[in-house]
Every structure is written in C-alpha cells, then in structure tokens.
Structure 1
C-alpha cells in the first residue's frame, strides 16, 4: 500500500512540475517587434518584404515578431539565430503554415514545397532524394557540361541575350534529367513558356499578404473569390500531366531514355504515389530547378561584371590550372577553389530566394528567454542573414575571399543557407551547385565581363517574387582568347 501511495505521489508531483514549467514557458514574451494596430496587428510590407524585414532586424534584433489578425509571424534575420532555431530545432519547424491560396487552391495540395510535415511529406521527399542525392547528381554532369558549352556558344552568337541563355541552360538541363528530353530546350519552347507562366503565378500567390484568405480563411467560401486560382490549377495540372504522358508513351514504345519521370513511373507503387502526385513531383522538380538555376547563373554574371578584380582572380586561377587548350571540367573543382568561392559568394551576395519560405512551429520553441509559440509562422529572411556583419564582415561587399582559408582551400566552417533550413532544405542543392560551378568556370574561362559606363547596372533591381530574377542589364563581353579556339572546344561533344 505504501508503495502505491509513493508511486501516486511521484506521478502527481511530476505532473505538477510539468504543468508549472508549461505555465512558465507560456509566460515568456514573444520576441519584440514593431507595434501593430489593435486587433488587426501589423501591416505586412506590400512589396519587397525581405528588405523591410532586414531594417526591422536592425531595429528590433535578430528575431522579431509580427502579428496579422490571429497569426503570429517570427522573422529570423541573423546567422546564429538561424542556426539555433531553424537548424537545431529543425524537427519542430519541418511543417509549413496553411496556404489556402498557393497550396490548397492553386496547387490542389500537391506541391511538395508547401506540403505540411507528416508521412506524405516523408514519402515525397524520399522519392526526390532518390533522384537528387549526391551520387545520382554526379550522373547529370555530362548533361550539365554539354549545356554549359552551349551557353558559351549562345553568348558568342548573341551576347545581348545573356539572361535568356541562362534560362535556356536551366530549362534544357532540368528538362533532360526530369523528362529525358534529347534536344536542347529553347527559352521560346511552348512548354517552357507555360512552365515559366505557372511559376510566375505561384511566385505571386505564395507571397505573404497577396491573398487575404490566408489570414482570414472564411473568405474561401465567398463565391468566385478563388475562381482564378482554380482555373490556373487546371492549366498547371494539364501541363504536368502532358509531360508525364509523353514519357509513358515512350516507355510503352521502348524508346524512353533514363529520366526522373521514368524512374518514378517505374516505382510508383514502391513510393505509393498517386497519378496526380507523380505529375506534381516531376513538374515541381522542373519548375523549381529551372527557375532558381537560371537566376543564380544570371546573378553570378552580374557579380563578375561589377567586381572585375574578383573576376580577374578567378581567371588567373583558370589560366594556371586549365589553360587555353582545354575547357574546365568538374574534375578540376578541387584545384579551382577561387571558382567555388566566387560561386558561393554570388549565392550570398544576392540570394535567389531573397526572403525564404515560411515554416510552422509544431511545438513551443524557447530562444533566449523568448517564446516562439506552437502554430507560429517562422521565416528565415535570407537577405538579412546574408548581411549579418558578425559572420560576413562588410556584408555589402562582394568578397569571395571570405570563403577561402589560410591554406588557400574553400572553408568548411562557413555556411550560408542558400537552399533553406533544417529538414526542409532543398533536395536539389547538389545538382544546382554543380550547374552554378560549371557555368562560372566556363563563362569566366571564355569571357572577360565588364560594365558599360553608359548603362550602369542596378544590382538591387529584382522581381518581387519568391525566387528573384534580375531586371534586364547590359554586359560588355570580351573574348579571352581567339574565338575559333572557344568554338572548337565548345562544339566538341555539344548539341549545336
């Protein structure tokens, strides 16, 4: 009897302690933030929110809070806070906030980028990992170098359209390994135009504040309010299904080339994928991979054009390691730390995902005596983190040498979260990094880039979308060797 009483007392005491701790946690304040209006809360920036968030980071600290109606937003703007919260608490931030406009309506709940945590997310990420893990990413290198050669040839033939050449590269590479396309994709291909239109719609819909229904869900019952998004979904689904149907027919005919689409069709039962999920997994890979890679290559070229001293350092390394008798390849990467450093600094200097994508806390998170409550929307603001002076001294300077250690190698103790955080990090990062490396190496091997004094580049002129795109800008491109040499080396083994 005494033992039963003792056990009961222990259980009651434990419950009391847990309750007291919970109450203490709930009494912790939210991170500070700008004052809002009673009931309505804060007004979110209508345009270029990451820049305003960066200003509020300077004023309110590395982590600050916004409120909009019943929703709580916690914005992270410094590197260490991102490590402490987004990385170390990654299991509690693997979820996404509910998105009625972009996810439930425009994407019919099928877009993996916005999928909430749970078994379905794990299942979808497993299939993406199978097609994008580092060992598989290596097998795409021949596709990437072949198309990177075509970028150089495209620039020789039409230097004014350098941004479109980056778009062609990205579309062609991703279309090839996603759907097995055998000829180079043009940025004027109808399917590419359709995908880019779809991406632009999604980029607008996912931006916080675009649709009030995400703050006030009752609006989804207003007749006609979401009809445009529903119509766009039908267009998007037809596009993705159409691409997959081509691969199905090729498989029936025995002519299908190796591709991610072929792989998921062959393993549909193993990964428990429904037909709609198949279409969106493949379509999402093409859309996201093409969009971000084209932007990253363009930003790299902008950086080289503005920062000619940094460009010259890369070219000196290329001359010493590669020379003029052959092209740089992936096998040269360990001997080309300046190329890698230039690539990494480009990703930090102008992050492709300027504001990052929102996460949702699935439990209370404590950070420095503040509480990030369960259910809060948590955003790692890439722009502010990239400009953290404690981790990136003189952050507004483009300085690839910050990535090089005292021995001349690429540092392994410095990181920028270009591809997201924690368990929601982009599974395509290994493919994307290879694309950016080989294009940096080949373009700077072939050309000297400079700014036209009569057409100064605004390096902050970007689209106000989830993944940014630079406004059109001019580059003066000078060939670094005889054009016939460049053409001969780039034509060898390339689609032209």
Structure 2
C-alpha cells in the first residue's frame, strides 16, 4: 500500500485546505467560548494569587512541601501557609487546585458566618478524587449533605447514644483502657530508663478500643498484631493521602493506579483496612441475635433487615454503606482523640511547671489513691484549661474536612459559584491575635477568670461548628479529660535528659499529629 505525502494528505477531502481552515476556526471559537464562560463563571470570586497553568496554585503552595522534605529542607505546614495568605488577600480568598476553585475562610467571624448562618449552602462535601476513590462518597464524614446523609447520621448518633456515647455509663469502658496503659507504663518505665517511652501505641490502642466497643462490640489486646497494624495503617494512610506526592491524585486521578511509590502504598493501605472491616461485618452477620444487639453494627444490620422486610427497595441501609460508616467512625474516633492526648502530654513534658500545677490541683481535689472520675471535671478547672489550651494551639483537624458550596451564593461581597471547595481554616481562628493575647504562647490561664473558674469562649472551636460539627465531640472530651488527668495523677512525664524537645510543628495529614517523641515516665507513688 502506498503512503501519502503530507501534501497529498492536504489535497484529500479529509483534510483539504477548506476543512483545515474550518478546523482552525472551530478550535479558535471553542477556545474563546470556553475562556469567556470561565470568566463569567469565576466573575467576582474572592481575590487570590495567580494560578499556575494546569496545577493552579497547587504547585505554588502544596507541591513544595514534600519536595522540600525529600531535599532535607523545611517547609511550613499548609494551615500556616493558608493563614499567612490572609494577610495579603483578606479573610476570604481564592486558590485553584488544578482547575478546581477553592475558597479559604479565615477568622472566627467568617467561618461562623459561612457554616452557621448559611448551613444549607456550605454543609456539602466536594468530590475530591483522592477521597472519593476510597470512600465512594458514603459514610457520615465524607458523604454529600442531603436526606441520605441526615438519615444515616441520625441513626448512628441515636444508636451510639443508646450504647453510652456522651454518657457517664461509658466511663467504665474508658477506665478499663486506662488500667492497661498504667500497667504497661509501669513496666516500660523500668525497662526504658533514660531513653524514654513511646506513648503512641498505648494511647492509640486505648482510645481506639473505646470506639471499637461501641461499633464492633469488642476490645483488642494492646499486643494484638493485627489491631496494631490496623492503627498503623490508619495513621499512614491519612499522612500519605495529604502530605506526599499522593496529593497529585487530586489533579491527575489516574495516578492512583500507578504501580509504584506512595500510590501503590495507598492502595495497599486501603485493601488492608477494607479486609479488616469487612471481616468484622461478616462475623456480626453470622452471629446476629436480634433480641440482644451488641453494638452499632448489630443495630444497623437489624435496621437493614427490617427495611428489606418492609419492602423498601430503595433503602440506603446496606452492608456497603455500613462498611463506610464503620471506616469513618473507626478512623475519626481513633486518630483525632489519640493525637490530642499525645499533644497534651508532649506540651506538659516540655513545660514541667504547668504539669506540676495540674498535678497539684488533682492531688488537692481527688488525692493520689481514689480513681479519678468524670464527676471531678467541674472541680479541676486548671486541668481542663490546660487541655483546652493545647487543643487551641494544635487544632487536631486544622483545616476541618473540606466543605462545598451546593449552590451559587453571594458571600461577604463575593460570588462563590456552585461546586466551589470551601476550606474553613480553624487554625487561623485559634491563632488570631485579635481574639487571643500572644496567640502563639502556651498559657492555660487564658481559659480562666480572675477567680480561677473556667472560661468558655465561643471562638474556641476545635471540633468545628455548624451541621458538620464532629459527631463524637462529647466522647472525645470524655476520653481526653479522663486519660490526661488519670495519667497525670499516676505519673510524671519528662523529656529524656539531654534530648532537645521535638518540633511542635507536627505532622500534617488531614489531622495534625505530633512528631514522634519519647518521654521518661516515673510513678508518683
């Protein structure tokens, strides 16, 4: 077969000069219309830095974070960068992740205005590729706002409360985990000597076991290898999905399937967590006793069967949806609270004078032998103020979970188009110098009045605000208070001699975790 030269190709009817010109005209018109429509769509949006081609502002703000670390250099965490940008562009400004418009909300008044005064618009969740691939937009954390989400969240909240969520009846479950921590710390303190103890595995196990008892009806031994691996996978998955090259999935979603590096690791993490949770659901289904429900999974399976028996063919109560709910609760109920406890103990190890004051208050009110209870909380204002001050400084979910505008809205003088990703910067609220004196300093007394009573400030919002406020807020507060105060009643925590304190910048991976550290633990009696 003879091949045609390019001149002969042009002379054919397929790509004749007339058709070639027509094609150029079409492409030019398409480009002009596309640009015009984009300009109309993005007209009057909040100001912001000029985006780069293809990657948007992503290349200017987030891409260097993992590149710099691999080069041995240091970069600011995203929440610090986003807070600093408000100085140049105002408390409401725009960024682009690829072609996706993202609006950052800084400061309490702006965040409150959006999430509390316009909840119907700003309570939705965006379709973020790196999240959607793993969650399928189901569950109660990442699912879109609407009737399905409201029904699922209401069921979960009601069911968890029936099993003790936010109630004193859950205290024995928390105390059971504290007994294990104390026993292990006594053993480890003798073995570790001046090297110090890594608190992370013990704290994570105890905290996770509380949520496991509510949703899975069982506790795991702190040396259970499968369970410890699951906690490690959760922590690693959150970190690499936000704080590594894996964030490029949000621009080029096909990268998720790459057979190398963090992309391959992320898929393996997902597979391992999926296998663990699905085994739990299968075991519950096979041992279900409708007359004696043990936990949230049993209650959900019973509701699912009841709706099937009633002939509700379009019911959203399915095993598939249950899987994503368990994943949400399991991860959210472990990572955030465990990191909060670890942050508090780190700050008190760095500030032994504050630790001494907390222990003096506990000794005076509770003593050194009586088991500390939630009923003591109101009598320990300095202890609670110290916990709150660490929460203010560290904000365990500093950029919240991304929201989305469900419709176009005029907000604070700007047009925010439907589908815009909304980032409530909680870090900026807790570091705002107009709200907090010397906001970067560690000062628990800012939460106390002149008589030493606890001050509750409306702009203290570590669990967020609005309709997407953390469902486990009450449980987290219970665990945080009991764990911190009970451990301080029993032990002193100090940094190893001659060891510089770890960076307080933390590790950002959706949640803000402290950098790995060890502490010398000594019994107080």
Separation in 2 of the partners of 1:313 and 1:223?
Answer: 53
Question: Structure 1 length normalisation: TM-score?
Answer: 0.82
TM superposition shift of 1:356 = 2.1
Q: Distance in 2 between matches of 1:201 and 1:89?
A: 32
2:45 to 13, 30, 34: 30
The 1:131/1:404 distance shift into structure 2, 3 A limit, reads farther
Q: Does structure 2 retain, via aligned residues, the 8 Å contact 1:34–1:66?
A: yes
SS in 2 for 1:424: coil
- The 5 A counterparts of 1:48-447 are 48-103=77-132, 105-133=133-161, 136-138=165-167, 139-159=169-189, 160-182=197-219, 184-186=220-222, 188-198=224-234, 200-205=236-241, 210-215=246-251, 219=254, 233-252=270-289, 258-268=294-304, 269=306, 272-447=316-491
Secondary structure at 1:422's aligned position in 2? coil
Q: Tell me whether 221-230 or 48-57 shows the greater mean CA deviation.
A: 221-230
Match of 1:45 among 41, 56, 62: 62
CA distance in 2, matches of 1:450, 1:195: 26
Cα 1:212/1:469, change in 2 over 3 Å: closer
1:460 aligns with 2:513: no
**Which moved further from structure 2: 445-454 or 396-405?**
445-454
**CA apart distance, 1:235:** 4.0
Residue 201 of structure 1: how far off its partner (Å) = 2.4
**Number of residues of Structure 1 aligned to a counterpart in Structure 2:** 453
CA–CA distance in 2 between the matches of 1:273 and 1:426?
Answer: 22
CA contact (8 A) 1:152 1:442 kept: no
The corresponding residue for 2:72 is: none
Distance 1:247 1:50 in 2: 41
Q: CA deviation at 1:166?
A: 0.8
Partner of residue 4, structure 2: none
How far off its partner does 1:252 sit?
A: 4.8
Report the counterpart of residue 493 of structure 1 in structure 2: none
Distance 1:170 1:452 in 2: 25
Could you report, residue by residue, the CA deviation over 1:180-221 in whole angstroms, capped at 9, with x for unpaired residues? 115x5316430341354145325533569835453466x589
- Offset of 1:365 from its aligned partner? 3.8
Further displaced range: 159-168 or 105-114: 105-114
8 A contact 1:133–1:430 mirrored in 2 = no
Stretches of structure 2 lacking an aligned partner (at least 5 in a row): 1-39, 66-76, 190-196, 308-314
2:233–2:273 CA contact under 8 A, matched in 1: no
Residue 234 of structure 1, CA deviation: 4.6
**Partners of 2:205 and 2:228 within 8 A in 1:** no
- For 1:249 and 1:33, the matched residues in 2 are separated by 55
Distance 1:442 1:213, change over 3 A: closer
TM-score (norm 2): 0.78
Bigger radius of gyration among the two? 2
The 1-side partners of 2:213 and 2:456 are apart by: 32
Is residue 187–residue 193 contact of structure 1 (8 Å, CA) maintained in 2? Answer: no
1:38/1:400 CA distance change after superposition, 3 Å: same
Asked if the contact 2:382/2:444 (under 8 Å) is kept, the reply is yes
Cα distance, 1:119 vs. partner?
1.8
Partner of 2:34: none
Q: What do the CA deviations read for 1:337-363 (whole angstroms, capped 9, x no partner)?
A: 222212211211112113322110123
Greater mean deviation of Cα atoms: 298-307 or 381-390: 381-390
**What CA distance in whole angstroms lies between the structure 1 residues aligned with 2:422 and 2:467?**
14
| Helix, strand or coil at the partner of 2:94 | strand
Partner Cα separation in structure 1 for residue 183 and residue 255 of structure 2:
50
Task: Calculate the aligned-residue CA RMSD, in Å.
Answer: 3.0
Deviation at 1:179, TM superposition (A): 1.1
**Does the C-alpha gap of structure 1 residues 109 and 367 become closer, same or farther in structure 2, counting only changes over 3 Å?**
closer
C-alpha distance after superposition, 1:73-122 (max 9, x if no partner): 1112222221122332222111111122322x223333432211112211
Q: Secondary structure at the match of 1:67?
A: strand
Distance 1:419 1:195, change over 3 A: same
